[in-house]
Chain A
C-alpha cells in the first residue's frame, strides 16, 4: 500500500527526515514512536502533502504510484487521511457542511455524482453514533471551542466518513482522557479491515493497548533506528528512549 524509500525532507533548509524506509501493507497497523523532535509529525505531514516541506531525496509510493508531486487534495482523493495533532479551528464552517463538501469534492474528483442528501444524512448518523458524537455537535463550527477530546473524536469521525485506504493518526492520544481514548480507539478498530492500513504516531505506548500494532518503529534523528513487534512498544514504555539514543549514538 505505502512504500517509502530513502526519504529526505527539510523545512526552510533544515533537514528533518534523513532517509526513511517504511513499507505498510494492506490490513496492517504500524506504530511510529520516538522522542520529541525526532521527525514523527514531519513524516505525517510529508505523506499528507504539506507544502512547507521539501522532499529532497527518495520517494513515496501509494499502491505503486509516486505521490510526492501530488497536492494535498489529490492525495486525499487517492485515499490518504491525516488525523491532525492540532486540528485547526475554522469559525463559520459547520462540521456537517465541511464533511459534505469534503465528500462531494472527493466524489467529483473521481468522476462521481454528488452524494444524495438522504444518503449523506444516513452516513453522518451512522458514523456519529460510532464515535458517540452528539448530533448538536455536528452543527457547531469546525473545532471552534471544542475540547481536546472533542477535536480528536471529530478527527476520527472525519476518517470514518471519508473511509481512507491509509490513515495516519498523528498523536491522536494526546489530550484524551481514558474514556475518550477508548471511544477513539474503538472507532479506529471498527474501521479497520484487510484492505486498509493505519499508521499510528505516538509518543506513549498507552494508545497501543487499544489499537494493537503489527509493527512498531522507533524514529530518532530523522531515521527509523529500530523496528519490531508490539513488544517493542512495551519495552520503550518501561525503559524510555535513552537506551535507543545510546545505541544510535554509539
Chain B
C-alpha cells in the first residue's frame, strides 16, 4: 500500500474517533476527497516542477505516534529561544506536551487546536476562521482532512502581547518513520500585536515528513511578526503551507531561515483584503549536501494602496538545490500598489543549482512593481581585500556570505532571534567568528 492509499484508508478510522458534532466534519470529508482525487503533487504540476517528493514519499510512515516517549526540558532546550521570556506550545510526536509548554488564557488565548475545535467557547472563532484562508490544493487538503492538533492563538483587540510565542514540534524517533500534520490557527484582532516563532525539529535521524498548515488572520491595524526557523536533521522533510489574510492597515511579516532538513517546501501565501496593508516576506537559505529548499510565494494584491516587500537570499553549496517561485498578482482594483521582489543567490559549488522564477500578473495600470533575481559567485576582489587584512580564506568567505544575508536579518525585531540566527549561520559556514560585534 503506498502512502496515499494508507492515508485515505486511515482517514475513516481517524474521523470515526472524533466527536460526532464537530463543526469540522464536513470540511474534513470534503478535504479528503480533494486529496484522494489529486494525490501527491508530482513534477507534472507546474507548481512542483522543480521539487520532487519521490524520495520523501517512499518511507512507510506511521500516521499517528503510538507510544509516548519521555522528553525532558533539557532535551529540547537547545532548540528553543530560551534566553527570553516566552509562551511555548510544545508538541512531541504530534501530541501536546503540557509539562514542556507554557500557555495562557489571561486576556489572550495561547493554547491548542484540539481544545479549540471541541470546546463551545471557541466555536464562533473556529466557524469564522478555520479553513477560511487555506487554499484547497492537494497538500493543504490532506492536512485539513487530518487536522486535529496544533497551536490555537487568539489575540483579542487592543492587546500587545509582550512575550513572543514559540510553537515547536518535536519528533523523537519513537516510530521508525513518522508523518506529522500540525494545524495552526492564529487570529489577531484590531490593533493587536504578536510575535511568533515556529520550528520543527526531529531529535533522531529517523525519517519524518511534516505537512503543516498555518492560517493567520491579521485584522485591522494588527501587527504580526512570524519567524520560521528551519534547521532540521538530514532525514526530516517539511512541507509548510502558510496562509495569511490581512485586513486594512495591518502589517504582517514572515522571515524564513532555512538551514537544514532533507527537503523543505515553503508555500507562503498573502492575501490583502483592505487598503494600506503592508506584507513582508523575507528569507535566508544556506544549504549544502543534497539538501533542497523551495520557496513558493504568493502575494495577492486585491485592494488599492498596499505594499509588499519580498527579499530572499540563498547560498547553495555541494549538490544542494534551491527554488524560488515568487508570484505577485495585482488585481485591476489594486491601484497604487507597491510590490517589490528580490531573490539573490550565491552558488558556492559547481554542482549546486537554483531555479528562480518571478511571476508577475498585473492587471492595474498605476502601480510600482519590481523584481530582480541574481545568481553569482562571491566577489573575488572583496575576498582579496579581506584576506590582505589577515582574515583567512574560509573566514573571509563566511564574512562575505553573512554580509550578503545581513539585510534580511536587519528587519528581525527580536534581538535573541537575530543572535541565534547569526550563530547558526556561523556554524553552517563552519567558522567561529563573532559577527554580531
| Interface, chain A (partner B; CB < 8 A) | 48-51, 71-73, 75-77, 81-82, 84, 87-88, 90-94, 96-98, 100-106, 109, 141, 158, 162
Contact = CB atoms under 8 A, between A and B. Distances in A.
Nearest to B385: A88
B379, B389, B433: residue with the most chain A Cβ atoms closer than 10 Å: B389
A101 B434 CA distance: 8
A161 to B, nearest CB: 9
B382 A90 contact: yes
A98 B389 contact: yes
Interface in B378-408: 379, 381-382, 384-393, 395-396, 399-400, 402-407
B437 interface: yes
Contacts of B387: 49, 71-73, 76
A125 B393 CA distance: 28
B399 A93 contact: yes
**For chain B, what secondary structure do more than half of its interface residues adopt (helix, strand, loop), or is it mixed?**
helix
Contacts of B395: 101, 105
B410 to A, nearest CB: 9
Contacts of A75: 388
Given A88-B379, A97-B437, A105-B395, A72 B404 contact: no
A105 to B, nearest CB: 5
For chain B, the bracket of interface size reads: 20 to 34
A132 to B, nearest CB: 21
Contacts of A91: 403, 406-407
Interface in B153-181: none
B388 A82 contact: yes
B385 A73 contact: no
B385 A84 contact: yes
Given A73-B391, A88-B379, A94-B437, 15 more contacts: A71-B387, A75-B388, A88-B381, A90-B382, A91-B406, A91-B407, A92-B407, A100-B437, A101-B395, A101-B399, A101-B437, A102-B386, A102-B390, A104-B433, A162-B389
B403 A102 contact: no
A100 to B, nearest CB: 5
B282 to A, nearest CB: 14
B392, B396, B433, B435: residue with the most chain A Cβ atoms closer than 10 Å: B392
A92 B399 CA distance: 9
B403 A93 contact: yes
A93 B433 CA distance: 13
20 contacts: A49-B388, A72-B388, A73-B390, A73-B392, A81-B388, A90-B382, A90-B385, A90-B386, A92-B405, A93-B399, A93-B406, A96-B437, A97-B435, A98-B386, A101-B395, A101-B437, A102-B389, A104-B433, A105-B390, A105-B395
B316 to A, nearest CB: 19
A84 B388 CA distance: 10
B388 A76 contact: yes
A39 to B, nearest CB: 18
A109 B379 CA distance: 24
Nearest to A143: B385
B400 A90 contact: yes
A162 B390 contact: yes
A16 to B, nearest CB: 17
Contacts of A162: 389-390
A72 B379 CA distance: 16
A77 B434 CA distance: 20
Contacts of B379: 88
Contacts of A77: 390
A87 B385 contact: yes
Nearest to A45: B384
Contact of A90 (B390, B403, B435, B437): B403
A178 B436 CA distance: 37
Nearest to A107: B390
B384 A51 contact: yes
B430 to A, nearest CB: 15
A72 B387 CA distance: 6
A77 B391 CA distance: 9
A92 B425 CA distance: 14
Given A91-B403, A97-B437, A101-B395, A158 B389 contact: yes
Contacts of B396: 73
B381 A105 contact: no
A76 B437 contact: no
B118 to A, nearest CB: 49
Nearest to A102: B389
Contacts of B435: 97
Interface string B350-394: 000000000000000000000000000001011011111111110
A237 B401 CA distance: 45
Nearest to A76: B390
Given A87-B385, A97-B435, A92 B390 contact: no
B398 to A, nearest CB: 10
Contacts of B392: 71, 73, 105, 109
Nearest to A49: B388
Contact of B433 (A101, A106, A141): A101
Interface in B402-432: 402-407
